[in-house]
Structures are given as C-alpha cells and as structure tokens.
Amino acid sequence: LLITPYYNKPTQEGLFLHYKTIAEQVDVPIILYNVPGRTACDMLPETVARLAQVDNIIGIKEAFGTLDRIKCLVSMCDSDFAILSGEDALTCESILAGAKGVISVTANVAPRLMHDMCAAALTQDRETAMEIDSRLAALHKCLFLETNPIPVKWAVKEMGFIQEGIRLPMTPFSQEHHEALRAAMRQAGVIS
C-alpha cells in the first residue's frame, strides 16, 4: 500500500513516474493509496488508469471521498484492477457500483458486519447490504469524530482488545465524544 507523496504536490506525470519506477524495482503487488485530504495530493483517475496497466500495480485504495470518483475509476480501469473504497461510509454504494472491496477503519470494530455488508454488496444484494450498512452508519461517522486512529483505538480498548494508550502526536480520545461512539457501537451490536 503506497500513499501519494505528500507536501511537494507532484504533477500527474510525476505521480505516474514515481509509482512506475517503484513498481519496476520491486516484485511485490502494489496497491496505490489516494487520500488527498491527508496528503494534499490527488491522483486523478486518468493517472490511475495508466498505472493500472503496470504489471504489479494491482489496485487502489481510493479515499477521495465521493461515489462519483469510484464510478469514474471503475469505468476507466480493467475489471481485474481492484478499486477499493477508502471511505467506510461510501463502501456499500462503492461496491454496488463496481468496487471490489474496502480497506476499512470500521472493520477493526465491527469486522463481521463489514464482511457481511461487503459480501452482500459484491453479490449485488442491495437490500441486505443497505440494511447492514444502516446499522453501521453511526459507527462510520463516529470513528472520525477525531483524527483516525484516535477513535478506533479507543473503541477497541473499550471492547477489551487492547490496553489504553496512544502515541504522540495522537492524543487520547476526547471525553466529550465517548458516549456518541459508545452509542454507535451499541447500534452496531459490538457492545451491549
């Protein structure tokens, strides 16, 4: 999983050459990661489509944040190129629109529900997928009340899977958000 370079804001040609050069130097499968909200660098669908032709570039985690971007990528890339949602709240609709799956934050807290929702969407069972996703909607939102991974670390600690603690520059999850995330976790059925 290779994120777009941050800070220097390369051109689309610079992005293409960057990823192509890396792909030519390694023999492991590469998944591109586009998350302009964190990097200030947006890899456009045209660039992704070019990179999809490089042998060991096998997919993209797309976190641009719109369903239209997912649909555009699906239409521009071959079906064997894995378009993966990087936005939990858009995952259900993204898969129904042709994405292959998700690299998920929510799945750390509700893995069974995320799996079942994705499985239903992959078979185009819209009704089941949407019903499960509606149970996850508050969780998708509340896991981003503060910068990821702060809320998800707190949630899995609340579930008893890890001890309390987070490394700087991340700080502990603000008390003011605890009950909202607990309520979302109860709605998803991961705590009682």
Q: Active-site residue 33, yes or no? A: yes
Alpha-carbon distances of 77 from 54, 59, 61, rounded to whole Å: 12, 10, 14
Strands (E), the chain: 2-3, 30-34, 57-62, 82-85, 101-102
Q: Give me the half-sphere count of Cα atoms (radius 13 Å) on the Cβ side of residue 64.
A: 20
Active-site option among 33, 71, 100, 157: 33
Pick the catalytic residue from 7, 9, 19, 61. Answer: 61
Indicate the residue type of 134: S
Q: How many residues does the chain have?
A: 192
157 assigned to active site: no
Q: Name the residue among 39, 43, 41 with its Cα closest to residue 31.
A: 43
User: Catalytic positions, please?
Assistant: 33, 61
